[in-house]
Amino acid sequence: FQYWCGDLFLQARKTPKHLTFSGTTWTQEIVDMIQHNGDTEKCKRESTYKRHPFLEWFLAEQPAGLELAEAMPSPRTIKTHLPTQLLPPSFWEQNCKIIYVARNAKDNLVSYYHFHRMNKGLPDPGTWEEFVEKFMTGKVLWGSWYDHVKGWWKAKDKHRILYLFYEDMKENPKREIQKIAKFLEKDLSQEVLNKIVHNTSFEVMKENPMANYTKDFQGIMDHSISPFMRKGTVADWKNHFTVAQNEKFDEDYKKKMSDTSLVFRMEL
Ligand code: A3P
């Protein structure tokens, strides 16, 4: 895996690489809008998946993320969910810009559970109780949330990584969009900035077929089970966890997160 990716990404000079664990699609839209100076028509040129190839995504009957990435001129914006230890080494070697968006564990779990329910390309999540267990033991796709967020948190001290939090983005999207623009070395006028805030809001993106996954993966994602643009809020976990589940989760969380300075907000 590292071999062929290494080869590919030798060409990926100066690619602003975009990487997240939850809040990916939202950040992709923000990045695209920044790169196109708030031009909504240009940002509707293609669906999210085609604009920003998903590096490790491969499903029969769909163009593979890698193929799409290879066909793109540099500089490219690429999506991945890979943990640091699986990132192809050339990403580090080429000093790619990386945007990482982390979301608190409980909301991440809830969102991931519903996403598994609606996406036939992913394993069956089982019952809610079963999925909570799988999440806590890291037996989910892309591995342990705990190791993932901690790994990237550590990596940010040595590499060009902008580490963002979904909760901060919800609290003050304008401030966080400005951070992203600065990281991408783009100057935006107030007018463009406001336009980006508006067009990347949950409500507007939910209605945008180029950003809500209704154009991609037809027959694989079933939005009638649970729409991809589901709720887009902080603390929806409160509607899912029982008191006992919450206590058990918190206790385990403390242990798993005791060796990091990383702090998440579970509510605003
Ligand atoms: P919910 O399931 O909690 O609604 P990803 O893109 O990494 O797969 O993350 C999907 C989550 O991001 C979903 O969360 C989705 O609703 C949310 N999301 C997508 N666009 C958003 C936006 N513009 N504002 C807030 N949340 C957004």
Distance CA 256, CA 150 (A): 10
CB 100 within 8 A of CB 36: no
Distance CA 142, CA 209 (A): 27
- Identify which of 216, 196, 238 has the alpha carbon closest to the alpha carbon of residue 38: 196
Distance CA 192, CA 177 (A): 11
Q: Give the per-residue pLDDT at 5.
A: 31
Q: Determine whether 81 is an active site residue.
A: yes
Residue 213 DSSP SS3:
coil
For ligand 1, atom 2, which residue shows the shortest CA distance? 111
Q: Is residue 13 scored above 50 in pLDDT?
A: no
Lowest average pLDDT, out of 91-95, 153-157, 224-228, goes to: 91-95
Q: Exactly one of 18, 52, 81, 114 is catalytic; name it.
A: 81
CB 55 within 8 A of CB 2: no
Alpha helices in 46-104 (DSSP H): 48-51, 65-70, 89-93
Pocket of ligand 1 (CB under 6 A): 20, 22-26, 107, 111, 114, 200-202, 205, 229-232, 236
pLDDT grade for 6, boundaries at 50, 70 and 90: very low
Q: What is the mean pLDDT of residues 232-237?
A: 98
**pLDDT, tens digit (0-9, with 9 covering 90-100), for 104-117:** 999 999 999 999 99
Instruction: Indicate the residue type of 15.
Output: T
Q: Give the per-residue pLDDT at 2.
A: 27
Q: Is residue 14 scored above 50 in pLDDT?
A: no
Q: Give the per-residue pLDDT at 11.
A: 35
**pLDDT, tens digit (0-9, with 9 covering 90-100), for 181-202:** 999 999 999 999 999 999 999 9
Residue 105 DSSP SS3:
helix
For ligand 1, atom 17, which residue shows the shortest CA distance? 232
* Most informative mutation of 19, 26, 82, 107 for ligand 1 (most atoms within 8 A of CB): 26
**pLDDT, tens digit (0-9, with 9 covering 90-100), for 95-142:** 999 999 999 999 999 999 999 999 998 999 999 999 999 999 999 999
Q: Give the per-residue pLDDT at 62.
A: 79
Distance between Cα 230 and ligand 1 center (Å): 7
**pLDDT, tens digit (0-9, with 9 covering 90-100), for 160-186:** 999 999 999 999 999 999 999 999 999
Closest ligand 1 atom to residue 25 Cα is 6
Q: Give the per-residue pLDDT at 202.
A: 98
Upper half-sphere CA count for residue 35 (Cβ side, 13 Å)? 17
Distance between Cα 7 and ligand 1 center (Å): 32
Closest ligand 1 atom to residue 115 Cα is 2
* Most informative mutation of 145, 206, 229 for ligand 1 (most atoms within 8 A of CB): 229
Upper half-sphere CA count for residue 19 (Cβ side, 13 Å)? 29
> pTM, whole model, 2 decimals?
0.94
Q: Give the per-residue pLDDT at 75.
A: 87
Instruction: Indicate the residue type of 177.
Output: I
Distance between Cα 97 and ligand 1 center (Å): 22
Closest ligand 1 atom to residue 101 Cα is 7
Whole-number mean pLDDT of the chain? 91
CB 55 within 8 A of CB 66: yes
Distance between Cα 4 and ligand 1 center (Å): 31
- Identify which of 119, 146, 151, 124 has the alpha carbon closest to the alpha carbon of residue 135: 146
Q: Give the per-residue pLDDT at 21.
A: 60
